[in-house]
């Protein structure tokens, strides 16, 4: 991490002091005990890592006690309900939530608004999840806010149980966004929606991305049951906008909207929407979308992320922009366009090395594997494709392996050291050969470093290395690549 300038250090100190003042005020109201400041940032991370983290636990091992909105409400109550004064856009869905949040982030920032963004998971540093605009919050601000949330969590623990990793991060983000007085918060759900701890907010607008079969052991094993969980974010007083959905998902969303007395709009129906693929001079292959009508709409907007599957996500982000305009936000088209051009592809077909070509992607469902491989074929110039793949044991592994066999010339199976749910690479290789009779060349490697080194030796000329299967794989690869660059 680079050193802060004197002005940045002063600003960080001022923000931390403001959080400390808020801590004193809240403690006075609640009369709870302060456990003191963390010794350093690593101590703060170790405390956070000591809490139950659903992302690192097999779904069948997650206790029902985890899914309790009462605990989150009590925790935020101890913190003075920082979310009550925030303007919020709430995003749920199976795939594309992070992409929609990132597109909203860059457009709002380009239009001059100070925006708080909360997304998950992270690739390298947990502070990536809590950003002011495109910038992760400083370590000092993170630590001060986590100290406040830790003490609040202990204060409610006897009655409500132990706060989880994700609950503490959600509370931390809301504390920081309130303390920083951001103009708008873009809040991404974790798993589900109905019982997700982010679902204690009263949003201005809700967004629903495409629904797939995912987290079936937690959310249910049908599209309808998963849709019902995601639809839990639909609330009275908030307009909800959805990407196009399967018919059964559409019906579930409509039922929940009627029950909540909430206005629900779908891209392509209540919101005018079209998309197309275009290969133009200068920009190359890309998707374009038209959203809305007349002077409030957007015509022929270039989708900044690769792949046609990102068209619906961009359409949803632009539809939310149109809705925010009706609530008084000044969001001119030229600035929105400029913001989209500056998007960071963080973990979404992101190039992390030029020679050899190395890309990372967080795709971790059969649908997203398929779409990412299609996007690579349609947007990137390469001869042979080597995929480095690892995934969690509880995923639809066989379906993902079939997609890999269709798109890769060679597959190197590996596992992320930081993922306790990771499937053994030898088992992945065995399934690939024996269950789906994969035709692509395949090997297993004990770790991401070994897989990268092997792939780098195998590629020639214009070949491409693509790491995918989980954000853990993508994150570890990014760290290794950055370490390599630093040694040069």
Q: Domains for the chain: give ranges and CATH numbers.
A: 6-341 (3.40.1190.10), 350-487 (3.90.190.20)
C-alpha torsion 435→438→442→448, nearest 10:
-70
Q: Which helix (H) or strand (E) holds 43?
A: helix 41-49
The pLDDT averaged over each successive group of 10 residues in the chain (488 residues) is 38 53 52 80 97 82 81 97 97 94 97 97 95 96 98 96 96 98 97 94 97 82 94 96 97 97 96 90 82 92 93 98 97 96 91 95 92 93 96 91 95 93 96 92 96 95 95 95 86
pLDDT tens, 290-315?
A: 999 988 899 999 999 999 999 999 99
How confident is the model at residue 8, as a pLDDT? 42
Q: Which helix (H) or strand (E) holds 104?
A: helix 97-110
How confident is the model at residue 18, as a pLDDT? 55
CB 270 within 8 A of CB 295: no
User: Which tokens sit at 479?
Assistant: 């760290």
User: Which tokens sit at 28?
Assistant: 């006075």
How confident is the model at residue 32, as a pLDDT? 62
List own/partner pairs for 422-428 with CB under 8 A and 24 or more apart: 422/390, 422/391, 422/392, 422/393, 422/470, 422/472, 423/390, 423/391, 423/392, 423/393, 423/395, 423/397, 425/390, 428/389, 428/390, 428/391, 428/397, 428/401
How confident is the model at residue 108, as a pLDDT? 97
Collapsing DSSP to helix, strand or coil, 114 comes out as coil
How confident is the model at residue 21, as a pLDDT? 57
The residues facing 274 across adjacent strands are: 290
The conformation of residue 283, written as its DSSP 8-state character, comes to T
How confident is the model at residue 25, as a pLDDT? 52
CB 241 within 8 A of CB 292: no
Q: Which helix (H) or strand (E) holds 148?
A: helix 139-160
d(CA 191, CA 216): 11
State the CB neighbour count (10 A cutoff) for residue 399: 15
C-alpha Rg value of the chain to the nearest Å: 22
């Amino acid at each position: 991490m680079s050193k802060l300038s004197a002005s940045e250090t002063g600003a960080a100190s001022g923000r931390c002091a403001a959080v400390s003042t808020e801590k004193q005020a809240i403690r006075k109201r609640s009369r709870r005990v302060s456990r003191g400041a963390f010794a350093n940032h690593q101590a703060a991370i170790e405390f956070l890592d000591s809490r139950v983290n659903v992302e690192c636990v097999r779904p069948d091992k997650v206790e029902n006690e985890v899914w309790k909105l009462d605990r989150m409400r009590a925790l935020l109550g101890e913190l003075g309900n920082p979310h009550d004064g925030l303007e919020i856009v709430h995003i749920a869905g199976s795939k594309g939530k992070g992409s929609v949040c990132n597109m909203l982030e860059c457009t709002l920032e380009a239009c001059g608004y100070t925006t708080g963004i909360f997304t998950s998971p992270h690739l390298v540093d947990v502070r990536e999840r809590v950003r002011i605009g495109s910038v992760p919050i400083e370590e000092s601000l993170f630590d001060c806010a986590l100290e406040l949330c830790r003490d609040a969590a202990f204060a409610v623990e006897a009655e409500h149980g132990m706060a989880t990793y994700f609950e503490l991060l959600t509370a931390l983000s809301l504390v920081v966004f309130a303390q920083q007085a951001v103009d708008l918060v873009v809040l991404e759900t974790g798993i589900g929606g109905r019982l997700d701890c982010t679902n204690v907010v009263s949003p201005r607008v809700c967004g629903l991305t495409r629904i797939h079969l995912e987290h079936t052991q937690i959310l249910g094993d049908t599209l309808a049951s998963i849709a019902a969980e995601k639809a839990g974010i639909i609330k009275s007083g908030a307009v909800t906008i959805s990407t196009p959905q399967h018919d059964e998902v559409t019906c579930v969303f409509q039922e929940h909207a009627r029950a909540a007395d909430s206005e629900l709009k779908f891209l392509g129906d209540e919101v005018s929407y079209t998309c197309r693929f275009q290969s133009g001079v200068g920009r190359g292959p890309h998707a374009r979308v038209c959203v809305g009508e007349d002077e409030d709409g957007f015509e022929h907007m270039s989708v900044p992320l690769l792949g046609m599957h990102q068209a619906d996500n961009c359409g949803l982000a632009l539809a939310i922009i149109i809705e925010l305009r009706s609530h008084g936000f000044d969001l001119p088209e030229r600035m929105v366009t400029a913001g989209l051009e500056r998007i960071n592809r963080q973990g979404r077909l992101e190039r992390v090395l030029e020679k050899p070509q190395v890309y990372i992607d967080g795709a971790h469902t059969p649908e997203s594997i398929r779409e990412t491989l299609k996007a690579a074929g349609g947007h990137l110039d390469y001869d042979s494709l080597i995929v480095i793949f690892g995934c969690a044991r509880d995923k639809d592994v066989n379906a993902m392996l079939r997609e890999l066999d269709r798109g890769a010339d060679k597959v190197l199976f590996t596992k992320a050291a930081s993922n306790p749910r990771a499937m053994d690479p030898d088992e992945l290789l065995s399934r690939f050969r024996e269950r789906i009779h994969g035709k692509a060349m395949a090997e297993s490697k004990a770790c991401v470093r070994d897989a990268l080194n092997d792939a780098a030796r195998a590629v020639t000329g214009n070949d491409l290395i693509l790491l995918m299967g989980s954000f853990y794989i993508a994150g570890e690869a990014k760290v290794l690549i950055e370490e390599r660059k630093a040694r040069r």
